[in-house]
């Protein structure tokens, strides 16, 4: 995408107001006042676009698009496959999903269609082509929004058949399949591929290899569906770029694979501000911003966010004054080229009628939300030069969805909770506190270019991973891993011999036993040399403690209690031109902070500031010749940072930064 | 009903003891000793009355009714439709309910039949007519008890068909239906009424208009069934009055509509005494007594209550000595003309074998329960003049089931709990602490005659409600409403423009944003003028805080913290000859107490006593020429009230009142 | 069984490693090093043994058994019915279980087959006969392990038919059935046996008589299946003894009945060591050891235990050093002639890949677990003379599964939790603290030979129980019972008249009301004469307080609060040559301790030591001429016991005993 503005606006559903042309006019007037320059149309419009099979109704959309065009508002156009019309479900029940208990859904909800169904694919292709033919060359349309928030799975006979073929393609012989899934256990040996069925509480859920491959299949089948949606658009002659809108901490799909199918990554974010200390929410939100950015290593879009409070969280908490600004600027900071809301105008009825919107049921301009939205619009205009700037990171943390699928599905060592995301975010946060940009990547991502690579709880070492890590370290990289790493291969079969498989020499140790701790139970990590750990006497650890046999590593910390008191817990050793670090336990954040600070100091990584106050997030975007350093205060107090040289785009030159405030500084590249 | 005694007795199931005539004789002897004068027969007797299809067996019932007659015991006769015989389910599966997942029930439980099934209706009609012909003119029979504790819903094809017709009747055109249910959202537009289906977790549960109308249909269909049951009785020539036994805080039916079908309201109450402070339990129980009384504004019956502990609550706690008396007298106080128990004799087996009864498995007279039951019987004899006396209330609170259905189904602003009943009861309790009778009414009830009307969380303003409130206030009424009011119309569509819809001028404000608070989070309400609020510095609020734009109202309290600190929270203003009050937050009880005390003082409402100690409930029943003032001590200590003039029917002239004790005072009307 | 060694070893699954002969060789070498002398083969091997219908594959098993034989390792051979091959489910769906919602399972899991299916029985018979013919006379095979951990139920049409026949056989007439199940309640009267159906959430779950008989049927039908499995083995000419492996606190089967079908009892135990204070875990584990031992009053086997941590508990906690030894010796102490593990070698994949094993994925000898396993093996060799020794107990506690089924299914008096097992274990623990062996028996067990018999919460008095208790006490026995006893007969129908039914004269009291206490609520039991209760002022009670009318008993304690303050709570009275004790409330452990200590002191029961420190478990096994007194320290500190005379087999002569340590002392019989 080649943008000349920060996209500002959001989801707009004029089809809900076709009987109120006065309201549609008022909408456009209010958008203009609020500096809105982009809307997303067509999400969930299928029933209006094709009220009867094959009879299309585009008139209303033509009209609204013309009016938007006149008002200088760009359009992101959605394909309508996120929710099918009722007539389709009635006539072709195969389009309805079947759940894991093998019950066919009735018509209802949204996102409830089989991704395999030939009829559904054919219907989607037809409407997509119609849309593409009619609007696909319009200059005003800047992006295709393919469907909406893909997710879910279907266990219908068509999907079973597709899954069987997928399995057959992958394993070729039943013997290989039985080997990979360890079916001999509990006598589950397959005699033929025809016996393969998706997991079900009525059938099998304990064959982890099956579960894992089923998740892969679901993700790939969804990808296949996306590819067909896009193909229809291209076949109809439209070359406008495509996106899908992804979600926060979404478990069901492998976004790394899906990102390859589209031109631009976008995502929907709804942080629960004011529930926990702001900086924690900001860090989690920032983590997922960085995950989305890293998918393609290029600017992405924040496709949905809420201008006020959502209606579907357990408590609908209002955003405090300034929070909307901070949330919007955080997206820009992490690499988004847009601030888009769900939604421009609140619907009158149905399930999301209380979801926050730019224009609410009251409909006036004299609302707090409308005023804040307008202010954000102004600011985005003022910083438009950031559009297209990119993000460079010296350090990366690995968050790998296949690793998570396998680890969380496996039974043991702590069925009550492994806290994988928490563990990854501890590494992420420790880097971020130093003001470093961080890439969030999966195991397959290239390591070259990074100076430090953290791979917490890297349970699954897929083929080649250990080798690539050894190369990385041999050439000077710093590699950090933790407890419960390098245990299984890509089919969730345990490695025989010492673990982390393939890295025991690099790390100078092998993992022996792992101890699960009950909720509330703790151990301590005690530094061998306090002076390099901020003079801390010990750090608290919980959940899991890995015992290790150290062969050659140097011990940095030992356990403080239990029968393994005094045994090594944290180690490092040089390897080639680099270093391998190992963290044995799920230890508190401050331990990560102190350790990573030390690691960064000893590395060639540069920090943007020497000192960053607690609660301030620092992020950098870059363009040819200059860096944009962005500071945001997510603490409850005024903070102060020595800005140094650079030109100020936003905020105060003094470096004083109020709660929720943002400073943007343009620095020449050195 | 024209009664000459307080009905005293309860459910009696001689069909369980037909092989033990000695026990049946003993039962009657013990009833007489305990002053029992009424029993309910026939609940769940269908299998005994009609053991094979069309073959009736009334002999045992003739005998028992004769024996009761000789003993001077009246009979409330139940129709047996609460549980059908097994042969019927076997031969006609359509009588069995289908659940929301569309699974047909197997035979079992009770209350498990389709209310639509023509066969079930026909079988019920036949047995009802047989009963009515045989017993429907007997003087001993004083009331028809139609079925038992109606409830539940059926999603069978017959019910779907009936629902579709109901929807069609209501909306006439599919366009009107789509408009009313806001189906455009998520593309759920109906193309035809044939596509309408009841909500289902396998289909649609998020279309709030559908959910709401389904609840209305279920309630009306149940009413239609009741009407048919009664018609059978009337067609068979019996003119004896009818009742249905309703339940505590029952969510599934609109009792206001059902009450119109019957002659007398009755209900079953099982308070969990000794779980919370007694007065809280008494207030909740009193609230539902008043709700039942207000349904027809006439004396009603307490149809079931437990003489000891139930067996189906999570913990079966014994009633402390005196509690049974207090519970019984509370019913009388609130307007019941009966004290009836479930059950006279405990069953030997099956699910309720440990439910408390007048006669237990031991079977002796030397039990604490039997002695207490006998004492209550004596007292009821002594106060028989209260029978038929009515209740007059100057104040009313609105508890509206349709409002609740809609509000609790809607998503937002606090899915974790809106606490509607709690909010209504806070208003109720504040009035009750002043000794005022309170009517508990729905929005459709006439307002004329009330001096104060409280409508907490009146989310749904059905057509005409706002107008009627404006009339009421214009003519001198005091109207109180709260946060989250006047938001949607009768189909759960949001009002556009300022809210509370139609009352912003009356109240002098409009609602803007509403803030949800997490569990444990609080705000404060700070009086502008402490002197009129018992010098309280502030009151705690939780769950929800409504922000308001005040146009002309006078501010009584403001918020104490958060970004809306200092903004108005409680207001009032004169309107016509009356006043409109607005309470913005879910504030603690004592705030309601202080505010309502002030409102009552400034109104023309008279209190029965100047001072009522905490924990004492005061209620008044009236007859031509006199009032019966009833005081009950639900605190743990002796209390004292200045009784003033009047004749004492129960208790001590001194006004001293022990825990669980009751004083009844007859006062001449002024 | 006639053993010449403590069986040491465990489950071994070579079929998982047929492609790795090197590993199979290594396994045997490591077993020998670890003193392993026994393995269990064939559990879950069906798919490998019969990969296609009727085509058997025994070659691999022949080979492995020969190799084991050469290594001097005995074999326990399992029948493979615990998990059926996939081809069978595919071809004969009737072998798959149907759940209570009447859904037929898909293929998957294990233990998921209909026990009624003629086809499944026929297939099991065939494979069992093949196994028996081939290996059933082999000297190396010392025991048949019939299937694996029987459990679960099936609601398929075949099982419904079998259940109907079972009910018909039991009750003969529908009238008797209706009477027994109290079907008149809620009009559930059966017109024919054909209407009988198993309980279902879609049908009936509240008819307690039906629920109870269904549980009995399931247990008996499982027994019938077991009998057929064994018959096949015998028909094929094998006379080797049989066992089934039972489970900890297993609710679904009546083990007393199943024990009659087999030659040796065995069970699988997985205590959650280090979760609670060790002695509590040890006491619970000891209780179930004694339950298993008492089933046949002869040595039994510990068939499965974990050498490390399991993978399926909520937290996989490591065993601390020494814990494995203590766990193993506890089995020996309570009468086991084996220490067997699940499993010898960890599987590489599937659901239990992280379950602890003698040989883990690492595969080395230098693991903590392998070293500890080896040490246990050595010790077991040193104490082999204990093999075959038996256990004599003067005292018994009754834990009766039918009593539990009925009591926990009944509604009331405390649906939130009755805590039956806890109540039984309090009596058990009070005896155990005195060093007494305790038999854990059901109500049908002979009482003769015991000096004290405790029957806590003996809700169900089956026919003849009260008479047998009266005989026992008349002849000098001491009988202790508690609240909620003697309430119902064998069909869960309440006794009419005074309770505990048939024992009111023996106890000198009758039960009146029972008060349920909320969680957190307490009462106190206050001794009448403190001097006989360790000068304790009062003991705390919770959950349930039984009120009683004392006729002739002597009151030992009274209630401390509530309206029944001062009323009797604990009583006793002489009866014949013995005594009857009654405990009215669920009182804290120390009350049981003080009371039982007193009772034992006044009885003719001998204690092994005068003083036993807290946390030390003392158990005695006996042989002709000598006793083996076994002391185990489950406390966290060193303890000391005056050993007195005897020869030491294990531990220190000084009587000093470290945490997790065991002392075994051989004493001549007096
Ligand atoms: Zn599908
Ligand atoms: Zn129906
Ligand atoms: Zn079956």
Task: For chain C, give the percent of residues with pLDDT over 90.
Answer: 97
Overall size of chain B counted in residues: 670
Task: For chain A, give the percent of residues with pLDDT over 70.
Answer: 100
Report the CATH number of the A616-668 domain.
2.60.40.1180
ipTM confidence:
0.96
Task: Tell me if chain A has a CB within 8 Å of the CB of B29.
Answer: no
Please report which residue ranges of B277-412 form alpha helices under DSSP H: 278-296, 323-334, 368-382, 401-409
Residue C626 β-bridge partners: C623, C668
pLDDT tens, position by position, A53-83: 999 999 999 999 999 999 999 999 999 999 9
Mean pLDDT computed over C95-122? 94
Ligand 1 center to residue A97 CA distance, Å?
A: 6
Mean pLDDT computed over A396-411? 97
pLDDT tens, position by position, A120-153: 999 999 999 999 999 999 999 999 999 999 999 9
Distance from CA of B587 to the nearest CA of C (A): 29
In three-state form (DSSP H/G/I as H, E/B as E, the rest C), the secondary structure along A438-454 is EEEECCCCCCCCCCEEE
pLDDT tens, position by position, A306-329: 999 999 999 999 999 999 999 999
Kindly give, in sequence order, each residue whose CB lies less than 8 Å from that of residue C356, ignoring residues fewer than 6 positions away. Answer: C306, C307, C308, C309, C310, C311, C346, C369
Angle between helices B157-171 and B208-235 (to 10 degrees): 110
Phi, psi of A264 (to 5 degrees): -135, 135
How would you classify residue A227: left for phi > 0, otherwise alpha for psi between -120 and 50, otherwise beta?
Answer: alpha
Q: What is the mean pLDDT of chain A?
A: 97
Confidence of residue B110 (pLDDT cuts 50, 70, 90): confident
Of C146, C142, C141, C125, residue with least CA distance to C62: C141
Task: Tell me if chain B has a CB within 8 Å of the CB of C207.
Answer: yes
Q: Do B316 and C200 touch (CB under 8 A)?
A: no
Domain A7-83+110-152+222-386 class?
alpha beta
Task: Tell me if chain A has a CB within 8 Å of the CB of C659.
Answer: no
What pLDDT, on a 0 to 100 scale, did the predictor assign at position A533? 87
Mean pLDDT computed over B10-25? 97
Phi, psi of A316 (to 5 degrees): -90, 90
Confidence of residue B449 (pLDDT cuts 50, 70, 90): very high
Ligand 3 center to residue C29 CA distance, Å?
A: 44
Which one of B16, B80, B369 has the shortest CB-CB distance to C184?
Answer: B16
CA atoms within 13 A of residue A398's CA, in its CB half-sphere: 28
pLDDT tens, position by position, A77-86: 999 999 999 9
What pLDDT, on a 0 to 100 scale, did the predictor assign at position A532? 83
| pLDDT of C115 higher than 90 | yes
| Dihedral (Cα; A490, A491, A492, A496), 10-degree rounding | -80
Of A349, C145, C395, residue with least CA distance to B492: A349
CA B1 to the chain's CA centroid: 20
Residue C185 corresponds to which tokens in the numbers above?
């309640």
DSSP B527-592: ESSGGGTTT-S-EEEEEEEEEEEESSPEEEEEE-SSTTTTSEEEEEEEETTEEEEEE-EEE-HHHH
Integer-rounded Cα Rg, in Å, for chain C is: 26
Instruction: Give, in order, the Cα–Cα distances in Å from B368 to each of A485, B308, B320, B358, C523.
Output: 68, 9, 10, 10, 20
Assigned CATH topology for domain A395-601: Rossmann fold (3.40.50)
Confidence of residue C1 (pLDDT cuts 50, 70, 90): confident
| pLDDT of A534 higher than 90 | no
Task: Tell me if chain C has a CB within 8 Å of the CB of B84.
Answer: yes
Higher pLDDT, C534 or B394: B394
What does the alpha-carbon distance between residue B351 and residue C410 come to, in Å, rounded to a whole number? 7
pLDDT tens, position by position, B639-668: 999 999 999 999 999 999 999 999 999 999
Buried b (16+ CB within 10 A) or exposed e, A496-527: eebbbbbbbebbbbbbbbbbbbbeebbbbbbb
CA atoms within 13 A of residue B456's CA, in its CB half-sphere: 23
Confidence of residue B531 (pLDDT cuts 50, 70, 90): confident
Instruction: Give, in order, the Cα–Cα distances in Å from C572 to each of B508, C458, C540.
Output: 75, 17, 20
Give chain A positions within 8 Å (CB) of B413.
Answer: 309, 311, 315-316, 354
Q: Check residue B154 and report its DSSP letter.
A: -
Ligand 3 center to residue C166 CA distance, Å?
A: 14
Sequence spans of domains, chain A: 7-83+110-152+222-386, 395-601, 616-668
Task: For chain C, give the percent of residues with pLDDT over 70.
Answer: 100
Kindly give, in sequence order, each residue whose CB lies less than 8 Å from that of residue B242, ignoring residues fewer than 6 positions away. Answer: B143, B144, B146, B230, B233, B262, B263, B264
Which one of A84, A315, A363 has the shortest CB-CB distance to B414?
Answer: A315
Q: What is the mean pLDDT of chain B?
A: 97
Confidence of residue B475 (pLDDT cuts 50, 70, 90): very high
What does the alpha-carbon distance between residue C153 and residue B478 come to, in Å, rounded to a whole number? 64
Kindly give, in sequence order, each residue whose CB lies less than 8 Å from that of residue C595, ignoring residues fewer than 6 positions away. Answer: C430, C533, C556, C570, C581, C583
What does the alpha-carbon distance between residue B119 and residue C324 come to, in Å, rounded to a whole number? 67
What pLDDT, on a 0 to 100 scale, did the predictor assign at position A554? 98
Distance from CA of B49 to the nearest CA of C (A): 10
Integer-rounded Cα Rg, in Å, for chain B is: 26
pLDDT tens, position by position, C497-538: 999 999 999 999 999 999 999 999 999 999 999 888 888 999
Instruction: Give, in order, the Cα–Cα distances in Å from C505 to each of A137, B19, C448, C553, C574.
Output: 98, 28, 21, 9, 11
pLDDT tens, position by position, C580-639: 999 999 999 999 999 999 999 999 999 999 999 999 999 999 999 999 999 999 999 999
| pLDDT of B2 higher than 90 | no
Q: Do C350 and A186 touch (CB under 8 A)?
A: yes
Residue B263 corresponds to which tokens in the numbers above?
């002659």
pLDDT tens, position by position, C352-399: 999 999 999 999 999 999 999 999 999 999 999 999 999 999 999 999
| A228: number of Cβ within 10 Å | 15
What does the alpha-carbon distance between residue B101 and residue A123 come to, in Å, rounded to a whole number? 28
What pLDDT, on a 0 to 100 scale, did the predictor assign at position A2? 87
What pLDDT, on a 0 to 100 scale, did the predictor assign at position C543? 98
What pLDDT, on a 0 to 100 scale, did the predictor assign at position C109? 84
Interface test with C, best of A163, A187, A488, A546 (most C CBs within 10 A): A187
Task: For chain B, give the percent of residues with pLDDT over 70.
Answer: 100
Phi, psi of A250 (to 5 degrees): -90, 125
Overall size of chain A counted in residues: 670
Q: Which ligand is nearest to the CA of A198?
A: 1
Instruction: Give, in order, the Cα–Cα distances in Å from A622 to each of A392, A626, C397.
Output: 7, 6, 78
Give chain A positions within 8 Å (CB) of B551.
Answer: none
The answer for A 395-424 residues in CB contact with C (under 8 A) is 410-416
Kindly give, in sequence order, each residue whose CB lies less than 8 Å from that of residue A186, ignoring residues fewer than 6 positions away. Answer: A206, C44, C83, C109, C110, C350, C351
Asked if residue B586 lies in contact with residue B423, where contact means CB atoms within 8 angstroms, the answer is yes
Which one of C181, C185, C493 has the shortest CB-CB distance to B352?
Answer: C185
What pLDDT, on a 0 to 100 scale, did the predictor assign at position B518? 97
What pLDDT, on a 0 to 100 scale, did the predictor assign at position C401? 98
What does the alpha-carbon distance between residue A307 and residue A309 come to, in Å, rounded to a whole number? 7
pLDDT tens, position by position, B26-61: 999 999 999 999 999 999 999 999 999 999 999 999
Task: For chain A, give the percent of residues with pLDDT over 90.
Answer: 97
CA atoms within 13 A of residue A551's CA, in its CB half-sphere: 12
Q: Do C184 and B13 touch (CB under 8 A)?
A: yes
What does the alpha-carbon distance between residue B92 and residue B119 come to, in Å, rounded to a whole number? 8
Task: Tell me if chain A has a CB within 8 Å of the CB of C42.
Answer: no
Mean pLDDT computed over B583-587? 98
Pick the residue from chain C with its C-alpha nearest to B14. Answer: C184
A500 preceded by cis ω (within 30°)?
Answer: yes
Kindly give, in sequence order, each residue whose CB lies less than 8 Å from that of residue A29, ignoring residues fewer than 6 positions away. Answer: none
What pLDDT, on a 0 to 100 scale, did the predictor assign at position C110? 84
pLDDT tens, position by position, B235-294: 999 999 999 999 999 999 999 999 999 999 999 999 999 999 999 999 999 999 999 999
Confidence of residue A112 (pLDDT cuts 50, 70, 90): confident
pLDDT tens, position by position, C146-159: 999 999 999 999 99
In three-state form (DSSP H/G/I as H, E/B as E, the rest C), the secondary structure along C465-532 is HHHHHHHHHHCCCEEEEECCCCCECCCCCECCCCCCCCCHHHHCEEEEEEEECCCCCCEEEEECCHHH
Assigned CATH topology for domain B7-93+120-152+222-386: TIM Barrel (3.20.20)
Indicate the helix (H) or strand (E) that contains B244: strand B242-247
The answer for C 311-350 residues in CB contact with A (under 8 A) is 311-318, 320-321, 346-350
pLDDT tens, position by position, C228-282: 999 999 999 999 999 999 999 999 999 999 999 999 999 999 999 999 999 999 9
Asked if residue A454 lies in contact with residue A412, where contact means CB atoms within 8 angstroms, the answer is no
| pLDDT of C670 higher than 80 | no
What does the alpha-carbon distance between residue B111 and residue B351 come to, in Å, rounded to a whole number? 15
Asked if residue A456 lies in contact with residue A559, where contact means CB atoms within 8 angstroms, the answer is no
What pLDDT, on a 0 to 100 scale, did the predictor assign at position C111? 81
| pLDDT of B670 higher than 80 | no
Mean pLDDT computed over A602-621? 96
């Amino acid at each position: 995408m080649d943008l000349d503005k920060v996209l500002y606006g959001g989801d707009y559903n004029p089809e809900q107001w076709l009987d109120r042309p006065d309201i549609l006019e008022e909408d456009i007037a209010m958008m203009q006042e609020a500096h809105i320059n982009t809307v997303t149309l067509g999400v969930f419009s299928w029933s209006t676009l094709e009220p009867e099979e094959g009879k299309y109704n585009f008139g209303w959309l033509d009209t609204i698009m013309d009016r938007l065009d006149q008002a200088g508002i760009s359009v992101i156009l959605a394909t309508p496959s996120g929710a099918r019309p009722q007539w389709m479900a009635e006539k072709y029940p195969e389009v309805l999903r079947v759940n894991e208990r093998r019950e066919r859904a009735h018509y209802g909800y949204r996102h409830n269609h089989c991704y395999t169904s030939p009829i559904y694919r054919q219907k989607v292709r037809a409407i997509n082509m119609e849309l593409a033919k009619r609007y696909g060359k319009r200059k005003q349309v800047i992006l295709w929004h393919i469907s909406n928030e893909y997710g879910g799975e279907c266990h219908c006979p068509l999907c079973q058949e597709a899954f069987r073929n997928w399995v057959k393609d992958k394993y070729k012989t039943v013997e290989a399949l039985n080997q990979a899934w360890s079916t001999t256990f509990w006598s589950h040996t397959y005699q033929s591929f025809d016996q393969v069925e998706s997991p079900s509480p009525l059938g099998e859920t304990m064959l982890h290899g099956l579960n894992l491959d089923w998740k892969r299949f679901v993700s790939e089948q969804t990808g296949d569906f996306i590819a067909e949606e896009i193909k229809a658009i291209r076949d109809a002659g439209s070359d406008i770029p495509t996106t899908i809108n992804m979600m926060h901490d979404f478990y069901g799909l492998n976004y790394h694979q899906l990102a390859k199918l589209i031109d631009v990554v976008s995502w929907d974010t709804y942080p629960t501000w004011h529930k926990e200390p702001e900086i924690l929410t900001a860090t989690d939100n920032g983590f997922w911003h960085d995950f989305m950015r890293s998918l393609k290593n290029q600017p992405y879009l924040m496709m949905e966010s809420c201008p006020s409070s959502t209606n579907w969280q357990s408590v609908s908490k209002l955003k405090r004054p300034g929070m909307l600004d901070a949330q919007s600027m955080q997206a820009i900071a992490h690499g988004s080229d847009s601030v888009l809301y769900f939604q421009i105008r609140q619907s009158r009825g149905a399930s999301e009628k209380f979801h926050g919107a730019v224009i609410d049921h009251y409909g006036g301009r004299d609302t707090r939300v409308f005023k804040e939205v307008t202010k954000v619009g102004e600011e985005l205009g003022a910083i438009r030069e950031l559009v297209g700037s990119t993000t460079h990171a010296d350090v990366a943390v690995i968050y790998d969805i296949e690793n998570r699928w396998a680890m969380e599905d496996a039974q043991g060592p702590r069925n009550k909770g492994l806290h994988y995301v928490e563990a990854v975010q501890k590494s992420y946060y420790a880097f971020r506190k130093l003001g470093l940009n961080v890439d969030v990547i999966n195991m397959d991502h290239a390591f070259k270019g990074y100076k430090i690579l953290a791979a917490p709880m890297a349970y699954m070492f897929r083929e080649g991973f250990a080798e690539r890590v050894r190369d990385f370290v041999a050439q000077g990289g710093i590699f950090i891993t933790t407890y419960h790493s390098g245990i299984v291969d890509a089919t969730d079969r345990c490695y025989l011999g010492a673990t982390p498989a393939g890295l025991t020499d690099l790390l100078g140790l092998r993992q022996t036993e792992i101890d699960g701790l009950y909720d509330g139970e703790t151990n301590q990590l005690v530094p061998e040399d306090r002076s390099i750990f901020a003079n801390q006497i010990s750090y608290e650890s919980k959940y899991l403690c890995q015992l290790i046999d150290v062969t050659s590593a140097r011990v940095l910390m030992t356990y403080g209690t239990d029968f393994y008191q005094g045994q090594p817990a944290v180690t490092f050793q040089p390897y080639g031109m680099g270093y391998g670090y190992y963290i044995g336990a799920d230890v508190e954040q401050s331990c990560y902070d102190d350790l990573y600070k030390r690691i960064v100091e000893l590395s060639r990584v540069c920090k943007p500031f020497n000192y960053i106050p607690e609660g301030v997030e620092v992020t950098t975007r870059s363009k040819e010749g200059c860096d944009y350093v962005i500071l945001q205060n997510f603490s409850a107090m005024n903070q102060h940072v020595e800005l140094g040289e650079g030109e100020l785009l936003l905020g105060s030159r003094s470096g004083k930064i109020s709660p929720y405030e943002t400073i943007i500084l343009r620095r020449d590249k050195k």
